[in-house]
Chain A
Amino acid sequence: MVLNRRGYLQIPQGTEGFYLDEAYRHKKLTAEVEQLLYLWGYLPVQTPVFDYYDAYAALLSEDEARKIYRLIDRDGDLLMLRSDVTLFLAKQMGMILRRDDLPMRVCYADTILRHQNREDISKNEFFQTGVELIGPDTLDADLEVILLLRRTLQQIGAPLYYIHIGSRALFNAGFDQADAAVGARLRRAIVLRDMQELSAECTQLGISTARSRALQQLFSYIGDATGLSVLANSLRSELQAAELRQIERLQQLYNTLNEADDSGSYRIDLSEIGSQSYHTGIVFQAYVDGLDASVAAGGRYDRLYGRFGLDTPAVGFSIMLRKLQDDAAVDARFTPQISEAATGRTFVQRFRDAEARRRAGGSATL
């Protein structure tokens, strides 16, 4: 009996608990971020914990589908636990929003549940805080969301960071002839900056050696808009008009970002092509000095809502606050106040003393 109970003391993979100081930090951090999002006009939404699996099955890659927890309800329907807030939100908003409601700005702070390998546990994130700007497909909307991410990182006191911005639209323009399986392999090669693999896939697709080399140079580029301009000009003869249009759009986005905010926090990174199968336009991730994975990811998904009723574009991001809250600089700002014991001979005296201390901004216990 004792042995069995020991087994149950483990927490199953795919979830976590956090307590006391850690939970306090998380709640304060989330509240501060939510307050900022409200100031930018984003209203909170809460998505269901589980939903019908079949509603999302077509939107999940093989790898994503493997990580999802599924269960069967009492009527025999297959359900899935919320593994990605954006997916669940698209269905909810797609059902309730009317075209007159657009543009709509929403924000969320929810748990997600999905399986991760035991060895990947350090990269797990089971809590997503984020925003979606539903309706506009403009450059201004992309700018708003990226600037809001930067403002969020600034607000919570994140240490050194960069936001790397790329484009799934550029990838789609470059490899429009690839089917789903080849597209997934190409995306993996680019995301892992494996140019040997990208070259092999280009050969399979019958792409000329010169164009293949141009695509390898293009999709490994990191830098600023000027450097991208120089590179695009040198590759112009091998690039297609649709690709050049996406590059110009990125340059415009980058230049306006830097005009609005001269912090030097932005980099164009064409190996950023989006991790989700539903991405369609700009995509971005934030990297913080000293952390082993990106702390925020986002992008444009113009066809996701259409699958659930309202065919409208959207752009958004989610930020992994749990990764940031252990940073010393962030930690120092969100440490629980030390409670002092109220003084007084009687309970009423102690109660009044505690109230006085609380009015002065302190924390007091009876």
Chain B
Amino acid sequence: MSGAQRHPLTIALPKGRLHDRIHELFARCGLAFEFESRKLVAEDREGSVRLMLVKNSDVPVYVNHGIAGLGVCGDDVLYESGFDYFRLMTLPFGSTRMCLAGRRDHDPQQDHGRLKVATKFTRFAHDFFHQRGIPVEVIKLGGSVELAPLLGLAPYIVDLVETGSTLTANDLVVNEELTQIQVHLISNPAYYKFHYAQVNALVRRLQNQDPQGDADEPTAG
């Protein structure tokens, strides 16, 4: 028998640089929340959303498994996860660039037509260069990717670049901007289908930055 009761929408939020901006956005929309000390789950006062604070790269995992129906996540993390999601809206902050960078003094002639890159984003790097017919050797790193060219692990890196100051400090330059990265509100497809009216109401609220929200629109697509 159908006929769903109203429960808070579940949202996985990433720890780290985006957290304060997300908190501000939700507060402006009347969905203020606070994580109590050391707690990683919180609800807004009106019980519209239940938030889970997880590691950035784990957001797609929680959403894919339906533990959180929705999540806030960048294109970079989404691509690496390999899962399919609905991108419900692009958030007005957090955008950055995925770039190919290398040592300022590196001579491309030494590449002999093939690239060797170190990166955290191995799936993206592999697919990006393969789709362009460029042979690439991808070395997986967990962090401090800028060190790889300096220490001779690989002449290039593929990494997120915001201001470029970290690159400059390590005597690296951007060789090419590969793609723009934006931050999205995503949904597990089955979760969206079941709760579509409630999710659409949340999206409208976030898009309009409307503290009151509006009534659900049962026939909205």
**A contact set with B: CB distance below 8 Å:** 117, 119-120, 122, 154, 160-162, 164, 192-194, 217, 220-224, 226-228, 230-231, 263-265, 269-271, 285, 287-294
Interface flags for B180-220 (1: CB within 8 Å of A; 0: not) read: 00000000111111101000000000000000000000111
Which of B82, B84, B220 interacts with A222 by CB under 8 Å? B220
Q: Is B169 an interface residue (CB 8 A)?
A: no
For B193, what are the chain A residues with a Cβ–Cβ distance below 8 Å? Answer: 162, 164, 222, 269, 285, 287, 294
For B65, what are the chain A residues with a Cβ–Cβ distance below 8 Å? Answer: 122, 292
In the A-B complex, list the 7 residue pairs whose CB atoms are closest, starting with the nearest: A227-B219, A292-B66, A223-B219, A221-B221, A220-B221, A265-B2, A287-B193
Cα distance A217–B1 in the bound complex, in angstroms: 29
Q: Which residue of A lies closest to B5 (CB)?
A: A160
Contact yes or no, B194 A289, CB < 8 A = yes
Cα distance A330–B219 in the bound complex, in angstroms: 31
Q: Is B50 an interface residue (CB 8 A)?
A: no
Cα distance A301–B155 in the bound complex, in angstroms: 53
Interface centre among A193, A194, A228, A231 (most CB of B within 10 A): A193
Contact yes or no, A291 B221, CB < 8 A = no
Interface centre among B1, B82, B87 (most CB of A within 10 A): B1
Contact yes or no, A292 B194, CB < 8 A = no
Q: Which residue of B lies closest to A197 (CB)?
A: B87
Cα distance A294–B188 in the bound complex, in angstroms: 11
Which of A117, A122, A192, A265 interacts with B82 by CB under 8 Å? A117
Q: Which residue of A lies closest to B200 (CB)?
A: A222
For A223, what are the chain B residues with a Cβ–Cβ distance below 8 Å? Answer: 218-221
Q: Which residue of B lies closest to A288 (CB)?
A: B194
Contact yes or no, A161 B82, CB < 8 A = no
Q: Which residue of B lies closest to A163 (CB)?
A: B2
Chain A proximity of B16: nearest CB distance (Å): 22
Which of B81, B189, B219 interacts with A224 by CB under 8 Å? B219
Assuming A223-B220, A227-B219, A292-B188, is B87 touching A160 (CB within 8 A)? no
Chain B proximity of A216: nearest CB distance (Å): 10
Chain B proximity of A77: nearest CB distance (Å): 33
Which of B2, B4, B219, B221 interacts with A217 by CB under 8 Å? B221
Assuming A119-B83, A192-B84, A193-B86, is B218 touching A289 (CB within 8 A)? no
Interface flags for B93-123 (1: CB within 8 Å of A; 0: not) read: 0000000000000000000000000000000
CB<8 Å pairs between A and B, sample of 18:
A117-B82, A119-B81, A120-B83, A160-B4, A192-B84, A194-B87, A217-B221, A222-B219, A222-B221, A224-B218, A227-B218, A228-B219, A231-B221, A270-B221, A287-B194, A292-B65, A292-B190, A294-B193
> What 20 new A-B contacts, CB under 8 Å, besides A222-B196, A228-B219, A265-B2?
A119-B81, A122-B64, A160-B1, A160-B2, A162-B2, A192-B84, A193-B86, A222-B220, A223-B218, A223-B220, A226-B219, A227-B218, A263-B2, A269-B193, A289-B4, A290-B66, A291-B66, A291-B190, A292-B188, A294-B190
